[in-house]
Structure 1
Amino acid sequence: MQNPERVELVRLRLGLTKIGFAQALGIDRKTLQRFDDGSDLSQAVLDRLCRLSGYPEDFFLKRSLEYPNRDGVSFRSLRSLTAGARDAALAAGALAFELDDWICDRFELPAHSLPQVNNASPGEAAAAVRSFWGIGERPISNMINLLEARGVRVFSLAEETRHLDAYSFWRNEKPYVFLNTAKTAEHSRFDAAHELGHLVMHRHTGSGHKSAEDEANAFASAFLMPPADLLAHVPRVRCLDDLIVGKKRWRVSVAALNYALHKIGVISDWHYRSYYIELNKLGRHIEPNGIEPESSQVWAKVLTALWRDGITLRHISAELSIPDRELSSLLFGIAAPASSPVNSRELRVVK
């Protein structure tokens, strides 16, 4: 029997309204409603759905998927996020659960070591997490790898919308972060630190209150650019070029560095606004001297280990009945090696 909830997930991933979805399938709204109420789609309509979505027929015959709990999800840029983009991202989360559970049946991934920091300012919370992890005040070379080493599941999103940056939540004592790879690398690093702030500061209080986003932003700034390290390496700023050169140490955007130095008093109000105006003239989506995007080490190791056992992303796709393009978009586009795999009997445990 066809599962209406799985058909609905595909509609959300396609970003279509119910009316647009029915039109794309060549049926009227009432036919789609009857399907939602328990009637099966005809084989002809099901075939059109498979062609439209790229999902195999088997996908629509399986049990319902688990979605991230909306009440527990922290969305960055929530105020400007459309319902369609939000729902498509949550549907991607449901697919990620399927993939993550499949991987966890075969691999032992790192358990999380995230402290919970309550009743502290964002700056204090950032310092507490750095202290708990023993990383002092040195710059963080790779945010994704740092999170993964502490047991955070980091997935990518290939959502073509400027309004969706990232989101995070807890599931079965596991922290999850989803990052939109359409952003600049500097933007994505800040997003990752921002979501870490939600995970450690707002797990029990929720992130729905008005100050939550500001708190997560302040956490990310202090976590990526500890104030003492900023003062030690950028005691003064004479022009925008000083910011462009200085940002390399912390691998952040010029705008983020401008904000952080203004907050600790290195940059005056007037210069802060002047540099912001200069940056806008360059283009809001252009980052001077941009860095290379970060990627996942954990998923690269998992895919490599599977490849050695003759299992490719296409095999996983067939087993889960999820198009490999969807899986690839969740795994930072990481592909298995191009040459033919060598078979072996046991999968390696990733530690």
Structure 2
Amino acid sequence: MFNGSNLRLARLYHELSLEQVAERVSKTRQYIQRLETGIAVPTPVLAKELAVALKVTPEFFRLHEPQRVNEELVHFRKREGTRVSTRLSTLAKAELYGRLITLLDRQLELPPVCFQEITAHTPEEIESAAEKCRVDWGLGLGPIDNMTRLAEKLGAFVTSFDSLSDEVDALSVPLERPFIVRNRAKKSACRQRFDIAHEIAHLILHSGITTGDRATESQANRFASALLLPRSA
């Protein structure tokens, strides 16, 4: 019943290496790797020790939920020098946050998801798409009071990961109930507003498209600019 992928998920969530986990439970790095890949199964005593080391319950290792968050799905705005460990940790946090949202969605009456998919490529098409969204959402042409509230009214969750470093700007995950993760390391309120608008752009313009390249990031920036300050205003 032991699910090694959940052991790996918890380890990456806490940004720990195989060696660090092995030291905490007095095992070798190779053995922890065997547990994560399903080649070996821990004793009940070791499973409890691993749970304590990774701040989860032993039952967490018995869950068999499919992992839905992967790098191809996530609109992941990272810098060129982003470390592999930072990227993997961020994806692990996104996976667990997605599971939390699924639980909340079952218990709460949340707004319907209203991120309509729009195909737009040229700067003019993208600006028109942003202005259409403002009309559909009843925003008029004036300033948007609160970008977080807007995203939430459209059916998304907006959060932040405390340990999200300067290596990652922001990200969004287009699940059935999408969510946006902003970087609290940025102190500029204007930049935070723009980041949320940028991620809204990905949810609208880039459904099913791998993003992060110069073209898609430029398109999302154009949409965010037009959403926050329409040309006609």
So what's the TM-score if we normalise by structure 1? 0.59
Whole-Å Cα distance in 2 between the matches of residues 169 and 31 of structure 1? 33
Whole-Å Cα distance in 1 between the matches of residues 16 and 82 of structure 2? 16
**Match for residue 183 of structure 1?**
186
CA gap of 1:37–1:69, structure 2 versus 1, over 3 A, is closer
Contiguous gaps of at least 5 residues in structure 1: 230-351
Pairing of 1:128-277 with structure 2 (within 5 A): 128-172=132-176, 174-184=177-187, 185-229=189-233
Whole-Å Cα distance in 2 between the matches of residues 37 and 112 of structure 1? 37
**Match for residue 12 of structure 2?**
12
CA gap of 1:160–1:202, structure 2 versus 1, over 3 A, is closer
Contiguous gaps of at least 5 residues in structure 2: none
Alpha-carbon offset, residue 204 of structure 1: 4.0
CA gap of 1:118–1:106, structure 2 versus 1, over 3 A, is same
CA gap of 1:67–1:17, structure 2 versus 1, over 3 A, is farther
**Match for residue 88 of structure 1?**
89
CA-based RMSD of the aligned residues comes to 2.2
Structure 1 residue ranges (4+ consecutive) displaced by more than 4 angstroms after TM superposition: none
**Match for residue 114 of structure 2?**
113
The answer as to whether partners of 1:3 and 1:61 remain within 8 angstroms in 2 is yes
AA of the residue aligned to 2:186: K
Matched, 1:97 2:101: no
Q: Which has the larger radius of gyration?
A: 1
**Match for residue 50 of structure 1?**
51
Q: Match of 1:211, SS?
A: helix
AA of the residue aligned to 2:144: I
Whole-Å Cα distance in 2 between the matches of residues 65 and 215 of structure 1? 32
Matched, 1:39 2:44: no
Q: Match of 1:112, SS?
A: coil
Whole-Å Cα distance in 1 between the matches of residues 47 and 157 of structure 2? 34
Q: Match of 1:178, SS?
A: strand
Measured against aligned partners, the alpha-carbon deviations of 1:274-294 in whole angstroms (never above 9, x if no partner) come to: xxxxxxxxxxxxxxxxxxxxx
Measured against aligned partners, the alpha-carbon deviations of 1:22-70 in whole angstroms (never above 9, x if no partner) come to: 2343211221233233422244543432332221222122224523132
**Match for residue 62 of structure 1?**
63
AA of the residue aligned to 1:41: P
CA gap of 1:84–1:123, structure 2 versus 1, over 3 A, is same
So what's the TM-score if we normalise by structure 2? 0.86
**Match for residue 300 of structure 1?**
none
Bigger RCO of structures 1 and 2 (CA < 8 A, at least 6 apart):
2
Identity rate of aligned residues, in percent? 29
Alpha-carbon offset, residue 160 of structure 1: 4.1
Measured against aligned partners, the alpha-carbon deviations of 1:315-343 in whole angstroms (never above 9, x if no partner) come to: xxxxxxxxxxxxxxxxxxxxxxxxxxxxx
AA of the residue aligned to 1:222: A
Q: How many aligned residue pairs are there?
A: 228
